[in-house]
């Protein structure tokens, strides 16, 4: 799930480098493409396709590369047999180095053939792009991680650091069996690592296909849904009264709409806004500088928050997303409900957000936190041992492209691993279009060259961390 990628990057004036399409010119690229194509064309929509099948196919490739059965752990649960995943381990030569973890998810958002220009589950190359559901989110990274594990095994010389790979299911669906959560709760030793590399980072292209910026995701918000409920005895619509369930719910939702949670900063967002202020001379840059000095500066907040991405990066946000009210067109409503989706700032809790929503809603509206309740988002450190190599390798692969840390306003499965003490970083490398390349929408795509260049970057990044 890539919501929040490149948050606020539109405010940055950055160097641009041309992106040109390229075919597979190396044997190892052909090997990777075969893996990638098979993964993309395996339907892994939850309750429709099978992540278990996709994991098994990758496992077959790993075994062909020399992995033993003992190196591969396939997992699922009886009531979700098609939502399985895979953990693979490549043992390092230096026991003193703690393992690293490569995390990716196999499942994808649903895609209806009648809505798409092309078959969403057939990989099609057209105009220097690969089109299909999952070409980016998250099968590009999952395929690169699997390919990296294969290449390192085939190299015969083991890395110094043990490398683990976890490919899971359920990231894209709230009520699905979530493989990452299951591993964190049931197999923490299997995926124990000093740090993890995940989705969430990446690069952005301008309208002409030029590279603008690379982002490293360092932290994310926690996604949580709340239900607002108001009830009333109702009655005949010919004799209305002021006590109306729909009006009471509407008043509560307007209160949420009109409320801004306080401005807060993590080390990551402070670094991001500091860089943004330097690149934006004038009123916006001045306002950001004032807000960094005083988060309670309402005038500065109002100006900066005109950019919706910056507004969301500064605070917890809550928004109404679903409504259901009434039971007959000629009757006063007896019940009205709404779903309010919150993206909770790192360090803030579900319960504290619930308390504020109850305060805003008033006594006539009941507010409850929906299941599942996600863990509190724990921001990883802006660790030079992680950010440094990412930036250095990026300079070699994408010279002149600025690299900056970013907190995602969306959410990934990284939150479950952070809850058990594994800091998770969204690795840069894959460049996508300004419109997010159709992720979660129609005609998802990735530039051919972007995919292969990103693969090369991520491979070199992993080998750098692995020694």
With contact defined as beta carbons under 8 Å apart, do 138 and 104 qualify?
Answer: yes
Domains of the chain are 9-221+377-466 (3.40.630.10), 242-369 (3.30.70)
Q: What is the pLDDT of residue 237?
A: 97
Q: What is the pLDDT of residue 16?
A: 37
Ordered DSSP codes for 284-331: HHHHHHHHHH-TT-HHHHHHHTTSHHHHHHTS-EEEEEEEEE-S-TTE
Alpha carbon distance 315, 346 (integer Å): 9
Alpha carbon distance 279, 301 (integer Å): 18
Q: What is the pLDDT of residue 101?
A: 98
- Dig out the tokens for 38 from the structure: 């098979």
Q: What is the pLDDT of residue 1?
A: 54
Angle at 142 between CA 107 and CA 388, to 5 degrees: 130
Does the bond joining 138 to the residue before it have cis omega, within 30 degrees of 0? yes
Q: What is the pLDDT of residue 175?
A: 83
Q: How far is CA 25 from CA 21, 29, 146, 456, in A?
A: 12, 7, 20, 13
pTM comes to: 0.90
Per-residue pLDDT of the chain (467 residues; tens, 9 = 90+): 545 444 444 334 333 334 444 467 899 999 999 999 999 999 999 999 999 999 999 999 999 999 999 999 999 999 999 999 999 999 999 999 999 999 999 999 999 999 999 999 999 999 999 999 999 999 999 999 999 999 999 998 999 999 999 999 999 998 899 999 999 999 999 999 999 999 999 999 999 999 999 999 999 999 999 999 999 999 999 999 999 999 999 999 999 999 999 999 999 999 999 999 998 889 999 999 999 999 999 999 999 999 999 999 999 999 999 999 999 999 999 999 999 999 999 999 999 999 999 999 999 999 999 999 989 999 899 999 999 999 999 999 999 999 999 999 988 999 999 999 999 999 999 999 989 999 999 999 999 999 999 999 999 999 999 99
The DSSP call for residue 11 is G
Q: What is the pLDDT of residue 242?
A: 93
Q: What is the pLDDT of residue 23?
A: 62
Residue with tokens 């070409």: 135
């Amino acid at each position: 799930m890539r919501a929040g990628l490149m948050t606020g990057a539109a405010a940055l004036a950055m160097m641009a480098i041309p992106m040109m399409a390229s075919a597979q010119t190396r044997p190892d690229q052909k090997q990777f493409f075969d893996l990638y194509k098979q993964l993309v064309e395996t339907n892994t929509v939850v309750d429709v396709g099978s992540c278990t099948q996709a994991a098994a196919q990758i496992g077959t490739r790993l075994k062909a590369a020399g992995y033993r059965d003992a190196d591969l752990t396939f997992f699922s649960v009886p009531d979700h047999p098609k939502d399985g995943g895979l953990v693979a381990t490549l043992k390092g030569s230096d026991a003193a180095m703690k393992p690293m973890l490569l995390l990716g998810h196999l499942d994808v958002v649903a895609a209806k053939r009648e809505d798409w220009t092309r078959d969403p589950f057939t990989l099609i190359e057209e105009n220097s792009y690969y089109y299909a559901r999952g070409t980016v989110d998250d099968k590009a990274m999952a395929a690169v991680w699997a390919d990296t594990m294969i290449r390192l095994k085939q190299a015969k010389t083991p890395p110094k650091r043990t490398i683990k790979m976890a490919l899971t299911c359920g990231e894209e669906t709230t009520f699905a069996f979530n493989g990452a959560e299951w591993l964190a709760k049931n197999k923490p030793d299997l995926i124990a690592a000093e740090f993890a590399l995940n989705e969430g980072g990446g690069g952005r292209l301008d309208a002409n296909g030029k590279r603008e910026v690379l982002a490293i995701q360092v932290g994310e918000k926690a996604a949580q849904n709340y239900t607002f409920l108001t009830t009333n005895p109702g009655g005949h619509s010919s004799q209305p009264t002021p006590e109306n369930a729909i009006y009471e719910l509407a008043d509560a939702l307007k209160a949420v709409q009109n409320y801004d949670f306080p401005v807060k900063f993590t080390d990551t967002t402070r670094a991001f806004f500091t860089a943004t202020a330097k690149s934006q001379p004038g009123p916006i840059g001045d306002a950001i500088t004032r807000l960094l000095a005083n988060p309670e500066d309402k005038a500065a907040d109002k100006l900066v928050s005109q950019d919706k991405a910056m507004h969301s990066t500064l605070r917890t946000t809550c928004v109404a997303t679903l409504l259901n009210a009434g039971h007959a067109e000629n009757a006063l409503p007896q019940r009205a409900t709404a779903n309010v989706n919150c993206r909770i700032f790192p360090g803030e809790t579900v319960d504290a957000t619930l308390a504020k929503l109850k305060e805003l809603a008033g006594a006539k509206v009941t507010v409850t936190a929906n299941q599942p309740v996600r863990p509190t988002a724990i921001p990883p450190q802006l660790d030079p041992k992680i950010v440094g190599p990412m930036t250095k390798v990026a300079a070699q692969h994408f010279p002149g492209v600025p690299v900056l840390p970013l907190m995602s306003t969306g959410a990934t499965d990284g939150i479950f691993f952070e809850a058990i003490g594994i800091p998770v970083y969204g690795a840069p490398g894959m460049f996508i279009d300004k419109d997010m390349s159709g992720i979660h929408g129609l005609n998802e795509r990735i530039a051919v060259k972007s995919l292969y260049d990103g693969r090369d970057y991520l491979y070199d990044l992993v080998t750098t961390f692995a020694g």
